[in-house]
Structure 1
Amino acid sequence: MENITIAYPTSDITPLDSTSNMTTEYYEDYVKSPLDYFTLVVYSLAFLLGTTGNGLVIWFTIFKMKKTVNVIWFLNLSIADFTFTAFLPISIIYLANDFNWVLGTFMCKLNSFVAFINLFASVFLLTVISIDRCISVIFPVWCQNHRTPRRSVFVVIGVWILAIIFSLPYFIFRDTYEEYNVVTCYNNFVFEYSSDIGRSRHEGTVIVRFIVGFLIPFTIVVFCYTVIAVRIRRNHMTTSTKPFKVIIAVIIAFFGCWLPYHIFSFLELHSIYREDEYLASETRLGIPLTSSLAFVNSVVNPFLYVFIGRDFKDKYWRSIQSIFEKAFIEDSTHNDLKSKTKSTSDSNVV
């Protein structure tokens, strides 16, 4: 039987992320490994917990809570995570069917497209939240007059537009390939990784994803929270730490879950174009694991919203609505600074 070489998808947040070139014999003799079963379990749990947790956040923030700026930020984070986890059954079907894609080319494209919209929307929103907190600390009076839910909606719209733009390559290049009744959903950069055009497109997507979806946002986030910490310490400000802890926890969870994925994406590039068989075998193991870790990020956020910075017994006896309201309560940093300034002025008058 003739061997076929497929330009395999590699780093696209689905169970099909293997760096090896598949052959028809491989497909016919394919037997699920323990890693495949582990991935199935992780994806199934992520779907159940992610849709339930994020669905609750969406319901309460839309129907039960006042539309403050913080609520709008976290609502959109939950929408991104909910949409992502809602599509997980597609990946589960693909893996359960021994990597034989049965849902057609459009769903192959859409599945990857949605996954990366989640990535970019989440990281852009976390960056916006960090900038928003920084501005609230540095310019409290300005924020009191100009930081409004209506303006935050326009910012959120811009975030989603950018996320869609940066995710378009994963819709355009995603394709299906059928050989001997086996259909693969993969990145059709030009069919062959040996092609200069295909290689440059593959490298470009990985590099842009890392720079735009991780490096720049991470730098901005670290800078903003460094400024916040210095400003709070310098002014001896007593702030409400509840929303601050939630934001810090969400950011740590996001970057902690996604950094391994970006690292293995670059290792994967190296293994493909340098034809490093040892590294290829390592990435075949690492990509599914790091993709699973990235999935987990969409599950943990709702729990962080509720449980960070609060006494568990106290939360247990509160209503769910009250928990969410207190988790998203607006930070009083700018009010504390304003009060401190007023107190200083009054003492000088006396």
Structure 2
Amino acid sequence: METVTENISSILMTTGNDTKSQQLPMEAVVLVSSVWSLIIVTGAIGNGLVLYILFRFGERSVTNVYVINLAFADLMFIIFVVPATLIHIVIPTWILGDAVCKLSTYMIYVPLHATCLTLSAMTIDRYHAIVNPIRSMNWRSAKVSSFISLGVWAVSISISLPFFLFPRVIERAGNEGILDCNVMWPSPEWIKATTLAVVMTTFFIPMTAITICYGCILQHLWKGNKMKRAKPENEAALPIKDDKHERQLRRKKRVTRMVAIVVFLFALCWFPIHLIALWLQFDPNFPRTDAMHYVKLFGHTLSYANSCVNPFVYAFVNEGFKQAIIKRSPLITKLCKCVLKEKQKKDNGNMIDKSVGTRPNI
């Protein structure tokens, strides 16, 4: 059977023949190394802080479980993928061995699938929290979301197995002594099939489901506001009996907004590299020029950056998360007063429908 060598980056993420065949100028290497190093440090500290706060001080609620899942997936990506790729950018030959080649390639797709499935689960949870709050009370629990999260990782580990079995360190064609970490597919058809499968499972299908869910949520909220405006004046003037319900709804809307921002940033950061992957595999006239080489590097950088932005979303959008950091990390508070501004509010918003500043009952 014919063996096809396929560079990892031509599917999605890492470097190899397709990117390293064009040697980067020293200025570009320094710039890419600096930016990626910043991503590694920021992502590791940010996601580590999220995990520490939620495990140490957060309550075990539905959204909290999913946020922990997202932070863990981002942390795994930052630890296993970006450093190995950065080393290969700086050093033209692959020096990390066959085992790291397999692991770093595999760990591109496991956290990526886990992130997409978790975002889908979070969005579906937000849909039921807003549209079916009563009927979903029995199964919208931390226990159920924990089992769903375990299922997410089981599916992600299983569906990504080909990217552990087929990577191999080989000598670059025409460059004796230069090694690359490549995926060795059994046939040419596998290249296009895996590219399309990855884009479908990690972008198109989850983004379609998420868009549909948010469309239904917006439609439900619009109808609710329309009915509220249509209430008779005498009924509107009565004492508010459902003030607690209104506060809960506002809290759910804030959490829904936070999830929407996280989803939007994911789509924004990953769309370019998915588009380039499809273009590369399905267009025989794909421009293999210096300019496109830099465009691909920018796409890689943008997708890497997605793994370090979510903690900033929590810090900017979520008051409960701010308060937890303020109480437990005074140094960070002093350094980031513009973001972590302490506020005392009776109805303090948070990312999990409950305060993260209290010690969970485990």
TM-score, with length taken from structure 1: 0.80
Q: 1:46 to 1:168 in 2, by over 3 A?
A: same
Query: What CA distance in whole angstroms lies between the structure 1 residues aligned with 2:19 and 2:28?
Result: 16
Residue of 92, 113, 116 corresponding to 1:120: 113
CA contact (8 A) 2:10 2:281 kept: no
Query: What CA distance in whole angstroms lies between the structure 1 residues aligned with 2:181 and 2:136?
Result: 48
Residue of 140, 143, 157 corresponding to 1:147: 140
Per-residue deviation, 1:9: 3.2
Alignment partner of 2:309: what SS? helix
Letter in 2 for 1:96: V
Q: 1:162 to 1:277 in 2, by over 3 A?
A: closer
Match of 1:221 in 2: 210
Query: What CA distance in whole angstroms lies between the structure 2 residues aligned with 1:69 and 1:126?
Result: 13
CA contact (8 A) 1:253 1:297 kept: yes
Number of residue pairs matched by the alignment: 309
Residue of 269, 274, 293 corresponding to 2:281: 269
Match of 1:206 in 2: 195
For structure 2, the 5+ residue unaligned runs are 226-245, 331-339, 341-347, 355-362
CA contact (8 A) 1:250 1:304 kept: yes
Match of 2:353 in 1: 330
Per-residue deviation, 1:123: 0.8
Query: What CA distance in whole angstroms lies between the structure 1 residues aligned with 2:156 and 2:5?
Result: 29
Per-residue deviation, 1:249: 0.8
Match of 1:160 in 2: 153
Query: What CA distance in whole angstroms lies between the structure 1 residues aligned with 2:6 and 2:137?
Result: 54
Per-residue deviation, 1:146: 2.1
For structure 1, the 5+ residue unaligned runs are 191-196, 332-350
Per-residue deviation, 1:64: 1.0
Identical-residue share of aligned pairs (%): 23
Residue of 239, 250, 259 corresponding to 1:239: 250
| Pairing 1:1-350 to 2, within 5 Å after superposition | 7-11=6-10, 13-16=12-15, 19=18, 22=21, 30=23, 32-87=25-80, 88-98=82-92, 100-178=93-171, 180-190=176-186, 197=187, 199-236=188-225, 238-240=249-251, 241-271=253-283, 274=284, 276=285, 278-279=287-288, 281-308=290-317, 318-319=326-327, 326-330=349-353
Query: What CA distance in whole angstroms lies between the structure 2 residues aligned with 1:131 and 1:146?
Result: 13
Query: What CA distance in whole angstroms lies between the structure 1 residues aligned with 2:57 and 2:11?
Result: 36
Per-residue deviation, 1:264: 0.3
Query: What CA distance in whole angstroms lies between the structure 2 residues aligned with 1:70 and 1:316?
Result: 16
CA contact (8 A) 1:19 1:268 kept: no
CA contact (8 A) 1:81 1:118 kept: yes
CA contact (8 A) 1:268 1:280 kept: no
TM-score, with length taken from structure 2: 0.77
Per-residue deviation, 1:42: 2.1
CA contact (8 A) 1:174 1:187 kept: yes
Q: 1:31 to 1:255 in 2, by over 3 A?
A: closer
Query: What CA distance in whole angstroms lies between the structure 2 residues aligned with 1:118 and 1:77?
Result: 9
Query: What CA distance in whole angstroms lies between the structure 1 residues aligned with 2:213 and 2:155?
Result: 21
Letter in 2 for 1:183: L
Query: What CA distance in whole angstroms lies between the structure 2 residues aligned with 1:239 and 1:296?
Result: 31
CA contact (8 A) 2:169 2:179 kept: yes
More helix by share: 1
Query: What CA distance in whole angstroms lies between the structure 2 residues aligned with 1:201 and 1:214?
Result: 19
Q: What RMSD over aligned residues (CA atoms) do the two structures have, in Å?
A: 2.9
Query: What CA distance in whole angstroms lies between the structure 2 residues aligned with 1:277 and 1:12?
Result: 14
- Deviations, residues 190-223 of structure 1 (Å, cap 9, x unaligned): 4xxxxxx2x2111011100111111111111011
